[in-house]
Amino acid sequence: EVRGFVNTIFGCNEHCTYCVVPATRGMEQSRPMEFILQEIQDLISKGYKEVTLLGQNIDAYGRDMTPRRSFAQLLEYLNANISTEKFRIRYTTSHPRYMSHKAIDAIADLESVCECFHVPFQAGDNEVLKRMRRGYTFESYMKIIDRIRTKSPDAGIFADVIVGFPGETEEQFQRTLDLMEAVKFDNLNSFVYSPRPNTEAALWEDEQVPEDVKKERLQRVQDLAAKHGLERSERYLDKIVEVLVEDSNP
């Protein structure tokens, strides 16, 4: 094993109308930086070369602490104290409502942190985002992307999207495709909306999108995502880069 995973914060204080996490995992609880560092050092001693920091809303890291800390401070602390060269740090998952300039700058600038941003947008239409209770808009999301592109022009940008949210019209779905065209993600995790128990959106029975419509929209998203992924990958043609070999391919 060369890649490990380390929890930084448990739970979530957000209440997105489609998500069951707050009901199943409770309120946010950040782990002390020292504990996170020790766990990473243990992985390094076993030969690990990369770690992914985990958090349902990792940008909320430290806001429940006294004194208050931030995700950017965690990255800076780990970068300064990891006792080995060429060790890589990744993370998941950011929330566009809380992603700060300091976090973007840290990911772009710190030597141990991969220039790789995971910024789920979930939908491109502002009314759908409002009904999801996401707390941002198409326009504010694009400001985050602009900041990333300015600080780290060659960074990888990854995201998650949900299609067929209750009440989503074809016109609203088109805004999701518009956002994808504006960003051109390196990779996109795409999902069909499905009702979850104890969530608000599951109760909107009269607004559920037919399954065949959801599947058709998912296919359109995946086709466009594959096109963009190929375009982004082609920038590496004729380049020599350093890579991490995870396993042999028989």
Per-residue pLDDT of the chain (250 residues; tens, 9 = 90+): 899 999 999 999 999 999 999 888 889 999 999 999 999 999 999 999 999 999 999 999 999 999 999 999 999 999 999 977 789 999 999 999 999 999 999 999 999 999 999 999 999 999 999 999 999 999 999 999 999 999 999 999 999 999 999 999 999 999 999 999 999 999 999 999 999 999 999 999 999 999 999 999 999 999 999 999 999 999 999 999 988 998 888 7
Cα separation, 87 vs 51, in Å, equals 8
> For residue 237, what are its two tokens?
């043609």
Would you say how long the chain is, in residues? 250
Q: What local confidence, expressed as pLDDT, does residue 136 receive?
A: 98
Identity (one letter) of the amino acid at 137? T
Q: What local confidence, expressed as pLDDT, does residue 19 receive?
A: 95
Q: What local confidence, expressed as pLDDT, does residue 247 receive?
A: 85
> For residue 35, what are its two tokens?
């504990």
